Amino acid sequence: MSQKQPSPSRAEAPLPGGALDTPAWAFPLLLLLAGAAFWLVVSSGFSLIASIKFHSANFLADCAELTYGRVRAVGTNAFLYGFCVPAGTAFGLWQFARLGRSRLPLPGLIAVGTGFWHVGVATGLLGILRGDLSGFENLEMPGYAVPLLFLGIVVLGLWGCLALHERQQTVLEASHWYSLAALFWFPWIFSTASLLLFTFPLRGIAQSVIAWWYSGNLLIVWMGLVGLGALLALLPLATGSRQRHLALFIFWTLLLFGSWVGIPSAAPLPAWMPVTSRVFTVLLLVPACAVAVLLVGSNSKERDLEVPPFLRFAGGFFVLYGLIVSIGAFLHLDTVTQFTWFKPALEMLGGYGFFGFAIFGAIYSVLPKLLTLEWPYQKLIRAHFYLALAGLLFATVPWFAGGVVQGLDWRNPNVSVVEVSARALKFLRPATLGEFLIALGNVLFLVNVGAALFCYIRRAVMGFIARTIAPAGVGVKL
Amino acid sequence: MNYGPLIFLAALFALSGSWLGFVVTPSFQLGTLQQTNTVGAGLTYPLARPGLAQQGLQVYRANGCVYCHSQMVTQERTLCEVVLTEAGTNTTALVAALHKLNPNYNQEALDAVLKSLPKTVVFNTTKTKADAAVKELTQTTAKAQVVITPAGPDIARGWGKRRSVAEDYLYDYPTLPGAQRVGPDLANAGARLPDVNWHLRHLYAPAAEVKGSTMPPYRFLFELRKAGLTPSTQALQLSPGIAPSGWEVVPRPEAVALATYLASLRADAPLYSTPLSSAPTASASADTNAPAGGANLSTNAPAAK
């Protein structure tokens, strides 16, 4: 998708220096995003290694650091904490910042938060490789990385509140509520989970309840808020009070129902917990359908406009995810699909298909405006999209199918364990190819973000030289 | 329109709702769970794992075994049966009672029942009906009891005798119920495979112990030592060709701890929260040594005439 020339209105008051007409908060925000793009590539690399291990159990088997469990945990955690959280937070901060003046106070806070966060991620991932993974799914980060991460997100959130406080426009759009709620939701669930799992660990299976609650809130509520916020902000949706009410309705039902999802029905708990969780999972149908209505109602006239294809698909994947989850829970299909490849398929559909696509689309369309530069490699954006889409299909479709086959096999005691795993392997072949394509697409994303960072820094340095060394009149080509 | 405060309140309400439900309540309801007693024997359950097994749990966590192995047995039904354990003195009344319970009984089948006690006389019924049957049978001075057997695909696979319950995880940190099964459930791995040495050999080379196994080997938990004239006592007894020739494989302390942990895994104690009674003796399952008319004993076997 090609970017239209950056609208000058976005960075109204040119900053002193003239050449640099980007706000001071743009650069630290870019660093936050560049770090996210880096961890995204790390994550897909490790996930790919984990996937290859299924085809050859001996692959990298002699090195404790690269054993399946650790590699896989690095893959998911680099994705969640390395990519999703900083990229989603960066999008939220951008939304608040652009409501205000171009000169917002304390842009250094973003840099500090970014530093803490990314150092925290590096510490955590190295810790996982060393064998310090916590054992709680989707929160494998070792306890000692948590304070860094928490500090990072709190500092970033503080700046977000500052930016919001300094805003010039008093009425918030739907997408701002989403981003604001996400900004609070994450620190809240993250601190609750780490306090009760690491600092003052609960006794027995209550730990798992906390971990399930946290995962559900992160993967459904937080990701839903950020991803849908991006869609609302950037898709050419019809605007009007009906849409506004619909957006509010989605917001509320997502929070109200999504925050209870995630306790497996077979969990060794008092029956009310999995039952409650199932009921709320079924109810996810409501926000999923509402999103479908919202998307279908998008302005047809503006449809022809250049809408990043990533954003279009992201909405569809959200609806699909919601339908599969809620209908599956209603029909009790989880008695077959639990414990199978169905689960990673769903997580990839939600995490990469919905959230990832939404964030890619947002970054691709927002960053040029923010930095007032074109993407260095326009063609790679398209290539990234097709690789990501193909990779997603190749990975999730076999996993979904394989999950159903595996689930039926597990239910049949006459099929031996070795047979079950041999049969599942057939489905994992194309899935590994899918993960390879995704990894390749992510590399293209990193190349573009890295090149944009390079261009930005070069322009800043040249501008600086132009102002100090070569005074006005002496031509320095930028 | 300024929805601000409304939205803020709504979000707060939603979040604190699920927080109260799934964080605060479980902290009190489950976080304060205590040991309980097993049904029947009245033993304290669970007992904390011995120190070495606890270290093994950490090795299990550190290497992410949980991504391929659950420790959570599921159960879909409970089957109720009535087992006659003693015939008592009043045989005629007993025969009449049995006949009433199961009109399919012919003389031959009844004789067979009375000869090989204990014997299951009512299959696949509900708890209330089973209790009523026991009452009727005991009135004839005979002795009978209700046997409750959990059932479901996991149990049919032999992964456990009953579903997992909260008590099973009381002393574990972290708790590792798992979400995916690439390999079998391990909640009762120790009950199935009590041999620590089997676990060590399996961890070193899974495919050598289980043909076609896709489990990755954990060779880094072992040490290769030049084989001396007499094999070291700790060395694994591997089949030829598994270890490089001239070398012997000695488990590191982590491997021993992990294998000890695996052998300690067992969650099959009968508890009040999971009705499960151990059958009086092996013959309760009827069909293996049943006489010709054995099939007739089943109350719901319409095919049998």
Angle of CA points B16, A248, A228, to nearest 5°: 90
Residue B216: strand, helix, or coil? coil
Secondary structure letter of residue B161 according to DSSP: S
Nearest C-alpha in B relative to A280: B18
- Across the interface, do B30 and A204 touch by the CB < 8 Å criterion? yes
Torsion of CA B262, A403, A66, A223, to 10 degrees: -110
**Number of CB pairs < 8 Å for A and B?**
215
Weakest-pLDDT range from A228-237, A267-276, B294-303: B294-303
Torsion of CA A144, A147, A152, A156, to 10 degrees: 150
CA distance to partner chain A, nearest, from residue B91 (Å): 41
Q: What is the rounded average pLDDT of the residues A38-53?
A: 96
* B300 alpha carbon, distance to own chain's centre: 27
**For testing contact with chain B, the best of A188, A221, A255 (most B CBs within 10 A):** A255
Count CA within 13 A, CB hemisphere, residue B113: 31
- Across the interface, do B66 and A135 touch by the CB < 8 Å criterion? yes
B-chain CB neighbours of A202 within 8 Å are 26-27, 30-31
Q: How far apart are CA B174 and CA A356, in angstroms?
A: 30
Give domain limits for chain B. Answer: 77-156+275-285, 190-264
Q: How far apart are CA B74 and CA B90, in angstroms?
A: 43
Task: Read off the tokens for A376.
Answer: 């260095």
Weakest-pLDDT range from A101-105, A151-155, A193-197: A101-105
Nearest C-alpha in B relative to A212: B22
Nearest C-alpha in B relative to A221: B15
Residue B120: strand, helix, or coil? strand
* B235 alpha carbon, distance to own chain's centre: 32
Cα of first residue to Cα of last residue in chain A, in angstroms, is 25
Tell me the β-bridge partners of B223.
Answer: B250
pLDDT at B297: 34
Q: How far apart are CA B167 and CA A371, in angstroms?
A: 57
From the list B153, B217, B220, which residue is nearest A411 (CB)? B153
pLDDT at B273: 78
A88 pLDDT more than 70? yes
**For testing contact with chain A, the best of B9, B172, B204, B214 (most A CBs within 10 A):** B214
pLDDT at B277: 67
pLDDT at A15: 40
CB count in 10 Å sphere of residue A390: 16
Q: How far apart are CA A341 and CA A326, in angstroms?
A: 18
CATH number of B77-156+275-285: 3.30.1390.10
Omega of the bond leading into B46 within 30 degrees of 0 (cis): yes
Q: How far apart are CA A194 and CA A200, in angstroms?
A: 9
From the list B64, B169, B210, which residue is nearest A204 (CB)? B169
Q: What mean pLDDT value characterizes chain B?
A: 84
Q: Are B145 and B83 in contact, with CB atoms under 8 Å apart?
A: yes
pLDDT at B242: 87
Q: How far apart are CA A298 and CA A242, in angstroms?
A: 12
Q: What mean pLDDT value characterizes chain A?
A: 89
B275 pLDDT more than 90? no
From the list B23, B180, B212, which residue is nearest A339 (CB)? B180
**For testing contact with chain A, the best of B29, B180, B218, B219 (most A CBs within 10 A):** B180
pLDDT at B283: 38
Residue ranges in chain B assigned as alpha helix (H): 4-19, 25-29, 51-62, 91-101, 107-115, 127-139, 153-156, 189-192, 196-204, 206-209, 253-264
Q: Which of A325, A91, A110 is nearest to A227 (CA)?
A: A91
Task: Read off the tokens for A187.
Answer: 């620190």
B287 pLDDT more than 60? no
CA distance to partner chain A, nearest, from residue B97 (Å): 37
Beta-carbon contacts of A385 under 8 Å, excluding residues fewer than 6 positions away, are A309, A310, A360, A441
- Across the interface, do A269 and B166 touch by the CB < 8 Å criterion? yes
Distances in Å between the Cα of A247 and the Cα atoms of A158, A379, B8, B27, B61 are 26, 34, 15, 34, 42
- Across the interface, do B4 and A172 touch by the CB < 8 Å criterion? yes
Torsion of CA A282, A285, A286, A292, to 10 degrees: 170
From the list A170, A259, A421, which residue is nearest B14 (CB)? A259
A227 pLDDT more than 70? yes
Omega of the bond leading into B251 within 30 degrees of 0 (cis): no
The ipTM of this complex is 0.90
Q: Are A210 and A138 in contact, with CB atoms under 8 Å apart?
A: no
B-chain CB neighbours of A279 within 8 Å are none
pLDDT at A74: 98
pLDDT at A300: 53
From the list B10, B23, B74, which residue is nearest A213 (CB)? B23
pLDDT at B300: 35
CA distance to partner chain A, nearest, from residue B172 (Å): 6
Q: How far apart are CA A267 and CA A280, in angstroms?
A: 16
Distances in Å between the Cα of A161 and the Cα atoms of A57, A183, B254 are 49, 9, 48
- Across the interface, do B174 and A135 touch by the CB < 8 Å criterion? yes
Phi, psi of A230 (to 5 degrees): -65, -40
Is the overall model pTM greater than 0.95, yes or no?
A: no
- Across the interface, do B64 and A61 touch by the CB < 8 Å criterion? no
User: To the nearest 5 percent, what fractions of chain B are helix, strand and coil?
Assistant: 40, 15, 45
A202-219 pLDDT, tens digit per residue, is: 999 999 999 999 999 999
A54-87 pLDDT, tens digit per residue, is: 988 888 989 999 999 999 999 999 999 999 999 9
B106 pLDDT more than 70? yes
Q: How far apart are CA A258 and CA B204, in angstroms?
A: 43
Q: How far apart are CA B42 and CA B40, in angstroms?
A: 5
Residue B145, H or E segment: strand B143-151
Which amino acid, residue A225?
Answer: L
Q: What is the rounded average pLDDT of the residues B208-217?
A: 93
From the list A170, A206, A343, which residue is nearest B26 (CB)? A206
From the list A202, A244, A422, which residue is nearest B31 (CB)? A202
Weakest-pLDDT range from A151-155, B76-80, B151-155: B76-80
